[in-house]
A and B are shown apart, each in its own frame.
Chain A
Amino acid sequence: MISYEKVAAARGRGRPTSLDFINSIFADFTELHGDRRFADDRAVVAGLAWLENTCVTVIGIEKGKDIKERALRNFGMAHPEGYRKALRQMKLAEKFGRPVVCFVDTSGAYCGIGAEERGQGQAIAENLVEMMSLKTPVISVLVGEGGSGGALALAVANEVWMLEDSVYSVISPEGCASILWKDSSRVQEACECLKLTADHLLALGVIEKIIPEDARLFDNLKCELAAAIARYSGRTGEEIAQERYLRFRRIGDLSD
């Protein structure tokens, strides 16, 4: 598939959304709402669940399925309170020594008046700092679209994985074409230039793993998650945070 087709696939309506992954992979998902400051952002779902014998904190950006739910979820574009809700759950995960699993599927953080008034930039900035020093393992899985800072705010993880047909980019191909060339018809070209597909990102060292999208998707991902989390048992929070710091320190290294 060429990059443009991958973008179309990643945005496809028939695709499983974060809640599909959460409900298929984990047991007894118990949703916990609200950022305790302003509101409960429905674009972000967060809560507790069992992954085999381990209690984990699960967070996902949810786009919704039908028109009604998609509107409720703001089409998976979170406001600052969505990122603050996620951070609150991550801090609780650290407190209780639970691993964190994030599912990312967003065209980007919402751009609107309320989002800016309530500090979209500040909310993302705070997540980046806090996630980087979190003393518990974090695994982030990009399941559809990974749109810029709004995706990164849930992807400062020890390991970042991508589904085969997901994409992850600094800017939408449409935005890129319009800013660089003032020409929205060059979107396909922008898709190629941005190197936003899973295989490119694996080659660039930005992700650790590509999850194949076959009939065993959920089972396979469940096994991978359980195995990854097991690797962190017996390691101190400091070691885990240090590993995460070095992971991002190495990406795009200038010295080679």
Chain B
Amino acid sequence: MRFKKPSNTLEGQSKSDKKPAEERAGEGDYYPCPGCKKNIAKSELRENLNVCPLCSYHLKLSARRRIAIISDPGSFSETDRELTSDNILQFPEYDEKLERARLESSENEAVITGFCEIGGVRCAIFAMEPRFMMGSMGRVVGEKITRLFEAATDARLPVVGFTVSGGARMQEGILSLMQMAKTSGAVGRHSEAGNLFLCVLTDPTTGGVTASFAMQGDIIIAEPGALICFTGPRVIEQTIRKKLPEGFQRAEFQLERGFLDDIVDRRGQRDYIIKILRMHTRGGVAV
């Protein structure tokens, strides 16, 4: 299977790929793959976990579908679903943006947290939601992640997490920045207590999420082609006034630089995660 590296335009991509293709109702039966530009039947895309069957381009996937794909059927129980953001700084247009994000994503916030079993191994799990303000982290996202890690520490459970994020949510100002420290504290305590954190970075994982829990996993894997960075390519290009090389900051680049343990195709992720989880059962005894 050959993977074609996508070009480095975060903005261009998010426009065509904002809504998971499988969920774009009423726009015809076909969807043009952002990777190979060929029209793919939506039913086929859905069946293939939103991965292009022709070029293996990984399209965005909703947080709920991710959890459904990875966890054992019927095992997921959600936590803190009721937590919603308020406009604490009275930032202009934020209320409207939150409202729109809730409608577009059918979620209350940009992360879903809870507990599930994966291959019979009980874990805490979180998945970020690309359609909720591009998975940006404000107080609620930070709080839900923190509570999940604290609960997992108490229950001595591994955490499996899926990131997708434009970074800190600027409409919550400095309080968003503080979530980076808060979540890092909870991840650190979970780790010190000897628990596993397996983090899966998906396209794109950027800014304050990269600079906190996304890069704090014991094992960090990524989806093929995912943009993984602190500063996005557009800002770097504006700063240095140069065009960045093809594939810069993509998962393959990060693997080569030593920042990832591996790149795992979405269609093989459940098996991969089960394998890793079983290697981390207490005392390393196979179950």
Does B36 lie at the interface of the complex (its beta carbon under 8 Å from any beta carbon of A)?
no
Q: CB within 8 A of A249: which of B182, B192, B216? A: B182
**Beta-carbon contact of A245 and B189 below 8 Å:** yes
**Beta-carbon contact of A194 and B211 below 8 Å:** no
Q: Which of B18-26, B57-65, B86-94 contacts A (4 or more CB under 8 A)?
A: B86-94
**Beta-carbon contact of B214 and A169 below 8 Å:** no
Contacts of A109 in B (CB 8 A): 230-231
Report B's interface with A, CB cutoff 8 A.
83, 88-89, 91-93, 139-140, 142-143, 146, 168, 170, 172-182, 184-185, 187-189, 191-192, 207-208, 210-216, 228-231, 235-236, 239-240, 244, 248-249, 257, 259
Give the A-B contact count at a CB cut-off of 8 A.
Answer: 152
Residues 120-160 (chain A) with a chain B CB within 8 angstroms: 120-122, 124-126, 128-130, 132-133, 148-149, 152-153, 156
Contacts of A169 in B (CB 8 A): 173-174, 177
**Beta-carbon contact of A149 and B236 below 8 Å:** no
**Beta-carbon contact of A128 and B170 below 8 Å:** no
Contacts of A248 in B (CB 8 A): 178, 181-182, 185
Give CA–CA (A129, B192) in the complex, Å. Answer: 11
Does A67 lie at the interface of the complex (its beta carbon under 8 Å from any beta carbon of B)?
no
* Chain A, interface residues (CB within 8 Å), range: 35 or more
**Beta-carbon contact of A170 and B211 below 8 Å:** no
**Beta-carbon contact of B182 and A171 below 8 Å:** no
* Known pairs A195-B89, A201-B174 / 10 extra A-B pairs, C-beta < 8 Å: A113-B248, A124-B211, A125-B184, A126-B216, A128-B211, A149-B177, A152-B180, A170-B168, A170-B173, A245-B185
Q: From B140, B189, B210, B211, name the one whose CB has the most chain A CB atoms within 10 angstroms.
A: B211
Contacts of B208 in A (CB 8 A): 148-149, 170
Give CA–CA (A254, B177) in the complex, Å. Answer: 15
Does A217 lie at the interface of the complex (its beta carbon under 8 Å from any beta carbon of B)?
no
**Beta-carbon contact of A125 and B212 below 8 Å:** yes
Give CA–CA (A102, B283) in the complex, Å. Answer: 41
Report A's interface with B, CB cutoff 8 A.
109, 111-113, 115-122, 124-126, 128-130, 132-133, 148-149, 152-153, 156, 168-171, 175-176, 179-180, 193-196, 201, 204, 206, 244-245, 248-249, 251-252, 254
**Beta-carbon contact of A252 and B88 below 8 Å:** yes
**With A132-B181, A149-B211, A193-B92 as contacts: A251 and B175 at CB distance below 8 Å:** yes
**Beta-carbon contact of A111 and B230 below 8 Å:** yes
For this complex, 30 residue pairs linking A to B, each with C-beta atoms less than 8 Å apart, are A113-B240, A113-B244, A116-B229, A116-B231, A121-B210, A121-B229, A124-B230, A125-B184, A126-B216, A128-B184, A129-B216, A133-B192, A148-B177, A148-B208, A149-B168, A149-B177, A156-B181, A169-B174, A170-B176, A171-B170, A176-B170, A193-B89, A193-B91, A193-B173, A194-B89, A248-B185, A251-B178, A252-B88, A252-B139, A252-B142
Give CA–CA (A112, B236) in the complex, Å. Answer: 6
Q: CB within 8 A of A111: which of B146, B182, B235? A: B235
**Beta-carbon contact of B230 and A252 below 8 Å:** no
Within the complex, the shortest CB–CB distance from A199 to chain B, in Å, comes to: 13
